Structure 1
Amino acid sequence: MDILTLVGLLAGILIVGLAMLANASLLTFLNLPGLAIVLGGTFAVTLIKFRMSSVVSAFRLAIGAAFIDRVARPTDLIREVGELARVVRKEGILGLENHQSDNEFLKKSINLCVDGHPPELVEEALLQESQQTAERYDVAERVFRGIGESAPAIGMLGTLVGLVQMLNTLDDPSSIGPAMAIALLTTLYGAFIAQLVALPLADKLQLKAEDEARNQMLIITSIKNIMRGENPRVMTELLSSFVHPDQRTGLTPEREG
């Protein structure tokens, strides 16, 4: 669980909610027509911009990326592939057959190696898999950035609708209040959706995509070295470039006697 995302989301909602409750009740800020304009309009614009399958996939990916921290630490991956390299030097490539990994990309890499495919084919397959993963993250990020752009704009449209209604009913004081509520609250709803939900999720997807791409490139580099029979110590030293200098302590194994 990526607890910081949940804390940030709840803190943002709590702060806005407390500000609303300072001099009014939450019902004061509930306007169903205005909410329908923003939600319905934003959803419609999103469907115009993207395929339905892309929108559904984006929400699934966002939930996983934002609330479930599945990205492995590079230091853990380096230690794991270092152990794989030592197994291969002792038992050959088939020694990896019984290795169980929690990382799906590494698991696929091991299976390709064990199946006896040439290094060029293994590298090509892994690069294609990495590219497809990056494209999925990119589409999901663009979906949420699109929502972040559309929601405030639809909110402004709702504001214009409310102002027109208000100007057309100036002779009826009882209708001015509801029209003004739509005019103001639609802007609030649009800004809330964009700034507290859509844009933060887009940034989180971008961050997770970068982390995932780094880990996959680390694994690809590792597999290439393992299939060449590279010394585990040398390979670990090469892979340490994927890690911040402060975290490299203890990565390099002792020299083999």
Structure 2
Amino acid sequence: MKYVELQVTTNYTFLVGGSHPGEIITEAAKLGYSAIAITDRNTLAGMVRAYAAAKQTGIKLIIGCRLDLTDGVSLLVYPKNLEGYGDLCALLTTGNRRTEKGKCLLRKEDVYGLKACKFIVVPPSTLEERALPEHYRKCVLEYAERFSAGSMYLAMSRYYLGDDTQLLYRINELADEIGCPIVAVNDVHYHSAERRQLQDVLTCIREKCTIQNAGFRLLPNAERHLKAEKEMERLFRQYPKALQSTIDIAAACQFSL
């Protein structure tokens, strides 16, 4: 394998993901993946189902989670070992206890206490006046100071909004500036493109609107499906280091349920 998908949202991110963990794992096996991560938002709830499917298919499951913070850019977090997994579980418990059921309240300072983990900074979906959003840039600089050396990566993703080429260039430019590696992710929301319609319906339920008036609240295209390795190589052929980083992170994360 020359690519491992490290950002996957399942239906355990309520009314966001359009596929079950098992469907994601099964599709990954069909595409020839040897490993894949599940990164639902502020929860590890789908990991048992994902682990059961991974065990049946022989795929390595990388335990992960997307942390949506109240005061910072979202982070993808992957425990490397049992210590890291325990710290991540404790962090999520803290966030759940702070607010009402079904929600999780986390801040940047909470994440800085995590040990034995890999971190990926989620990229902005578009540029602002041909530059990276200032909030994103400030958070990246702060994260670079607080996380241990070699543990943080800047994610690159294609959103097909017209400025992907320049967006990837700017992220790579910032990564070079601070000496941080880049990594490719596809921000998967469903296992196949056919699930896009179901994901649209879920969005409408979440946003309390109809398909007719949902507008920009829907994802703009059906590209958030799991893609084959060769397709990801084509999409990121200008950034081979971003592809290699997915392999490096997968190899570093050895924790298993």
Task: Report TM bin, short chain.
Answer: under 0.3
Structure with bigger gyration radius: 1
TM-score by length of 1: 0.21
Specify which structure has the higher proportion of strand.
2
Higher relative contact order, structure no. (Cα contacts within 8 Å, ≥ 6 residues apart): 1
TM-score by length of 2: 0.21
Specify which structure has the higher proportion of helix.
1
